[in-house]
Chain A
Amino acid sequence: MARVFMKGCEAIAEAAVRSGCRFFAGYPITPQNEIPEYMSRRMPEVGGVFVQGESEVASINMIFGAAQTGTRAMTSSSSCGISLMSEGLSFLAGARVPMVVVNVQRGGPGIGAIQPAQQDYLQATKASGNGGFQMMVLAPSTVQEAVDMTFAAFDYAQRDRNPVMVLADGVIGTIMEPVTLPEARSSEQVAELKASCRSWALVGHDLSCEPRALVDSGDWDTKGMEQKNIEASALYESWKKDAQAEELFLDDAEVVVAAYGISGRIARSAVSLLRQEGLKVGLIRPKTVNPFPFESFDKLDYHRVKAILDVEMSIPAQMLYDVRMAVRGRCGISTCLHSGGEILGRHEIMDSVRGLFK
Chain B
Amino acid sequence: MEKIYTRTKMLNNDVVSGFCPGCMHSTLFKLIGEVIEELQIENKVALVLGVGCCGLAKGYVTYDNTTCGHGRACATATGVKRANPETIVFTYQGDGDLASIGLAETMSAANRGENITVVFVNNGIYGMTGGQMAPTTLVGMKASTAPRGRDPKEHGYPMHMCEILNQLTAPYYLERTSCNNPANVVKTKNAIKKAFQNQIDGKGFSMVEVVTSCPTNWGLDPLKSLDFLEEKMLKEFPLGVIRDKSREEN
Direct contact of A and B (CB under 8 A): yes
Is A284 interfacial (CB 8 A cutoff)? no
Contact assessment for B105 and A58 in the assembled complex, using a CB-CB cutoff below 8 Å: yes
Contact assessment for A57 and B82 in the assembled complex, using a CB-CB cutoff below 8 Å: no
Identify which of B65, B68, B84 contacts A61 (C-beta below 8 A).
B68
Considering only residues 55-82 of chain A, those with a C-beta below 8 Å from chain B are 55, 57-59, 61-69, 71, 73
Kindly state the separation between the CA atoms of A218 and B232 in the bound complex, as whole angstroms: 36
Q: Which chain A positions have C-beta within 8 A of B82? A: 23, 49, 51, 62, 66
Contact assessment for B46 and A204 in the assembled complex, using a CB-CB cutoff below 8 Å: yes
Q: Which of B37-45, B156-164, B186-194 contacts A (4 or more CB under 8 A)?
A: B37-45
Contact assessment for B79 and A68 in the assembled complex, using a CB-CB cutoff below 8 Å: yes
Identify which of B59, B66, B88, B112 contacts A68 (C-beta below 8 A).
B66
Q: Which chain B positions have C-beta within 8 A of A297? A: none
Kindly state the separation between the CA atoms of A55 and B88 in the bound complex, as whole angstroms: 25
> Who on chain A is nearest to B101 by CB?
A57
Is B83 interfacial (CB 8 A cutoff)? yes
Considering only residues 18-69 of chain B, those with a C-beta below 8 Å from chain A are 41-46, 48, 55, 58-59, 62-69
Q: Which chain A positions have C-beta within 8 A of B48? A: 65
Contact assessment for B87 and A218 in the assembled complex, using a CB-CB cutoff below 8 Å: no
Is B213 interfacial (CB 8 A cutoff)? no
Identify which of A49, A59, A68, A208 contacts B43 (C-beta below 8 A).
A208
Is A214 interfacial (CB 8 A cutoff)? yes
Contact assessment for A25 and B69 in the assembled complex, using a CB-CB cutoff below 8 Å: no
Kindly state the separation between the CA atoms of A218 and B51 in the bound complex, as whole angstroms: 11
Considering only residues 68-85 of chain B, those with a C-beta below 8 Å from chain A are 68-69, 72, 75-84
CB distance from B246 to the nearest CB of A (A): 24
Contact assessment for A54 and B104 in the assembled complex, using a CB-CB cutoff below 8 Å: yes
Identify which of A66, A214, A217, A220 contacts B83 (C-beta below 8 A).
A66
Contact assessment for B44 and A204 in the assembled complex, using a CB-CB cutoff below 8 Å: yes
CB distance from B39 to the nearest CB of A (A): 12
Q: Which chain B positions have C-beta within 8 A of A206? A: 43-44
- Choose among B62, B65, B79 the residue with the greatest number of A CB atoms under 10 Å from its CB: B79
Identify which of B79, B87, B89 contacts A73 (C-beta below 8 A).
B79
- Choose among A64, A88, A208 the residue with the greatest number of B CB atoms under 10 Å from its CB: A64
Contact assessment for B76 and A216 in the assembled complex, using a CB-CB cutoff below 8 Å: no
CB distance from A48 to the nearest CB of B (A): 9
Assuming the A-B contacts A54-B104, A61-B105, A203-B46, are A215 and B75 also in contact, with contact meaning beta carbons closer than 8 angstroms in the complex?
Answer: no
Is B100 interfacial (CB 8 A cutoff)? no
Contact assessment for A88 and B45 in the assembled complex, using a CB-CB cutoff below 8 Å: no
> Who on chain A is nearest to B48 by CB?
A65
Assuming the A-B contacts A95-B66, A214-B64, A218-B67, are A61 and B79 also in contact, with contact meaning beta carbons closer than 8 angstroms in the complex?
Answer: yes
Q: Which chain B positions have C-beta within 8 A of A53? A: 75, 108
Identify which of A65, A213, A214, A220 contacts B76 (C-beta below 8 A).
A65
Contact assessment for B43 and A207 in the assembled complex, using a CB-CB cutoff below 8 Å: yes
Considering only residues 304-356 of chain A, those with a C-beta below 8 Å from chain B are none
Kindly state the separation between the CA atoms of A211 and B63 in the bound complex, as whole angstroms: 9
> Who on chain A is nearest to B70 by CB?
A87
Assuming the A-B contacts A54-B105, A204-B64, are A61 and B58 also in contact, with contact meaning beta carbons closer than 8 angstroms in the complex?
Answer: no
Contact assessment for B79 and A207 in the assembled complex, using a CB-CB cutoff below 8 Å: no
Contact assessment for B80 and A212 in the assembled complex, using a CB-CB cutoff below 8 Å: no
CB distance from B33 to the nearest CB of A (A): 12
Contact assessment for A212 and B104 in the assembled complex, using a CB-CB cutoff below 8 Å: no
Is A91 interfacial (CB 8 A cutoff)? yes
Considering only residues 70-104 of chain A, those with a C-beta below 8 Å from chain B are 71, 73, 87-88, 91, 95
> Who on chain B is nearest to A216 by CB?
B67
Kindly state the separation between the CA atoms of A66 and B77 in the bound complex, as whole angstroms: 8
Is A205 interfacial (CB 8 A cutoff)? yes
Is A202 interfacial (CB 8 A cutoff)? yes
Considering only residues 255-280 of chain A, those with a C-beta below 8 Å from chain B are none
Contact assessment for A61 and B69 in the assembled complex, using a CB-CB cutoff below 8 Å: yes
Kindly state the separation between the CA atoms of A212 and B67 in the bound complex, as whole angstroms: 14
Considering only residues 29-60 of chain A, those with a C-beta below 8 Å from chain B are 49, 51, 53-55, 57-59
Kindly state the separation between the CA atoms of A218 and B68 in the bound complex, as whole angstroms: 10
Q: Which chain A positions have C-beta within 8 A of B68? A: 61, 64-65, 91
Kindly state the separation between the CA atoms of A49 and B72 in the bound complex, as whole angstroms: 19
Pairs across A and B, CB under 8 Å, 21 listed: A51-B112, A54-B107, A61-B76, A63-B79, A64-B75, A65-B75, A65-B77, A65-B83, A66-B83, A68-B79, A87-B69, A91-B68, A202-B64, A202-B65, A203-B44, A203-B87, A204-B43, A205-B43, A207-B42, A212-B62, A212-B65
B residues in contact (CB < 8 Å) with A: 9, 41-46, 48, 55, 58-59, 62-69, 72, 75-84, 86-89, 104-105, 107-108, 112
A residues in contact (CB < 8 Å) with B: 22-23, 25, 49, 51, 53-55, 57-59, 61-69, 71, 73, 87-88, 91, 95, 202-208, 212-218, 220
The 3 A-B residue pairs whose C-beta atoms are closest, nearest first, are A65-B79, A66-B79, A66-B83
